[in-house]
Chains A and B, each alone.
Chain A
């Protein structure tokens, strides 16, 4: 079945460092791909998405490119801030039986230190 695999955390970085969080997926067809972010004590929020191969999603300085050939959707940011500390979830959308379902990865915790 469909699945999402993320790199294990926690990822610990200093402020202004470059961030990469790896995400690969297994799916039939070409699902939409997402990154959600969960700040401490809050629910998940959509960070960015891409709906087809070679699309690049971007928001708040974060980027991810839908790579069909490597079935990947890695999250990157050129210069992280302390406020980026959160848990990041990669997900894919499965449209089946007329309904949309999100399949999430396990999440990667990011801690950014001053």
Chain B
């Protein structure tokens, strides 16, 4: 299996632009998680899905952030409009429903 796939690996954009991050989970995994990693706040859980349904989005920082999972093999995290303080590494992870999660390589976002 190819593991969790994220794209792009790096994204540089200007403040106010829309940013879309993409994730393909491991086939057969029912759970998908989006995390944000910064030096100041460490690793934060933003939202997670079970069978394509958002279960807990309490970690989403504000309305500028939205996440979707239209099918079992694809999810997006969108920021609109983006701000410099959104600069971070965003990770996607998937799980078969056990207590282990499998992480993607991350997307490094820089908002100028």
Measured CB to CB, the residues of A under 8 A from B are: 32, 34, 36, 41-46, 49, 51, 89, 93, 95, 99-102, 104-107
Contacts and interface: CB of A to CB of B under 8 A. Distances in A.
Given A43-B104, A44-B91, A100 B31 contact: yes
Interface of B: 4, 31, 42-43, 45, 48, 50, 55-56, 91, 93, 95, 97-106
Which of B43, B103, B104: most chain A CB closer than 10 A?
A: B43
Given A43-B106, A104-B42, A99 B99 contact: no
B50 A43 contact: no
A99 B55 contact: yes
Nearest to B99: A93
Given A43-B4, A99-B50, A100-B95, A49 B43 contact: no
B31 A43 contact: no
A107 B97 CA distance: 24
Say whether chain A's binding surface is mostly helix, strand, loop, or mixed.
strand
Say whether chain B's binding surface is mostly helix, strand, loop, or mixed.
strand
Given A101-B48, A107-B42, A49 B55 contact: no
Nearest to A106: B42
Given A44-B93, A101-B56, A106-B42, 15 more contacts: A32-B99, A42-B105, A43-B91, A43-B105, A44-B91, A45-B103, A49-B99, A89-B43, A99-B31, A100-B31, A100-B95, A100-B99, A101-B48, A102-B99, A104-B42
A104 B100 contact: no
A43 B43 contact: no
Given A43-B106, A44-B91, A107-B42, A102 B101 contact: yes
